[in-house]
Homo-oligomer: A and B are copies of this chain.
Amino acid sequence: MSPRRATPARPPATVRDRLVEAAFTQFATRGFETTTVDDIADRAGVSRRTFFRHFATKEDVVFPDHDAIRAIVAADLGRRRDESPLTAVCAAVSLVLEDYVRNRDVSLARFRLTRSIAPLRDREITNVHRYQRAFARFLEERLPAAEKLQAELMAAVVVTAHNSVLRDWLVGGAKDDPRPQLAVAFAAVRRLFEHSAAAGDDESTVVVLKSGASVEDVTRAIAALSKEGPLR
């Protein structure tokens, strides 16, 4: 279960790999806060300078693949221009889960760290946000009416569904294959947007109001709607 066990999956170990492995070993034994960059470099058998050639900070070494995976996901999305926008985004975000599964031990070690160390947790949150924003941009370009709000809601739902499955898997010790759960979650996502596709066709406007809404509330909502274009 030690992070070192993950290494054989990607031979030969580069200096970068060795630094990551050394960092996780040190964090696990000495704690994140007390481990220094020198400790990590020593354990990896390289100089402090070499560490900084690969990572800007101690925090960065916890997420060595964030940028690479985001780039892979973006490239994948670019190849899915013939699929429905929702299908494309679900498929692309699945690559993130695939990467966690492939690097199971490091994923678990990192999850334990990010849960307890606030700056690392925040780093994860902002990374998730970046995915969400990229997906919203893709969806906005691809959805028929270039609906910005719908694109943002869809991106939020897809990313949240993915992360819910990923988190459950990690919380449970990463035991079973999480991909069937992801399929279940994506089915729930599809159900949400199937209905709204019917409601959002260009023949009608659907206005949904809370009980007790006054005529003024209604008029205000509709006036705002009509600013976006003619009522259809």
Contact = CB atoms under 8 A, between A and B. Distances in A.
Interface string A180-203: 110111011111111110011011
Interface stretch (A28-36, A74-82, A102-110, A214-222): A214-222
Interface stretch (A8-16, A18-26, A37-45, A151-159): A151-159
B193 A192 contact: yes
A68 interface: no
Contact of A152 (B164, B202, B222, B223): B164
A211 B192 contact: no
A232 B211 contact: yes
Interface residues of A, number: 62
A159 B71 CA distance: 27
Contacts of A219: 215, 218-219, 222
Given A122-B122, A126-B126, A185-B149, A215 B206 contact: no
A196 B156 CA distance: 17
A184 B152 contact: no
Given A209-B204, A213-B231, A188 B153 contact: yes
A163 to B, nearest CB: 8
Contacts of A144: none
Given A126-B125, A150-B188, A195-B194, A180 B212 contact: no
Contacts of A148: 164
Nearest to A157: B153
A147 B197 CA distance: 23
A150 B161 CA distance: 9
B226 A215 contact: yes
Given A156-B157, A156-B160, A211 B230 contact: yes
Residue from the set A160, A164, A179, A199 with the largest chain B CB neighbour count within 10 Å: A160
Leading 3 A-B pairs by shortest Cβ distance: A180-B224, A156-B160, A183-B221
10 contacts: A87-B210, A149-B185, A149-B188, A180-B224, A187-B221, A192-B195, A192-B196, A204-B208, A205-B213, A209-B231
Interface of A: 87, 122, 125-126, 129, 148-150, 152-153, 155-157, 159-161, 164, 179-181, 183-185, 187-196, 199-200, 202-215, 217-226, 230-232
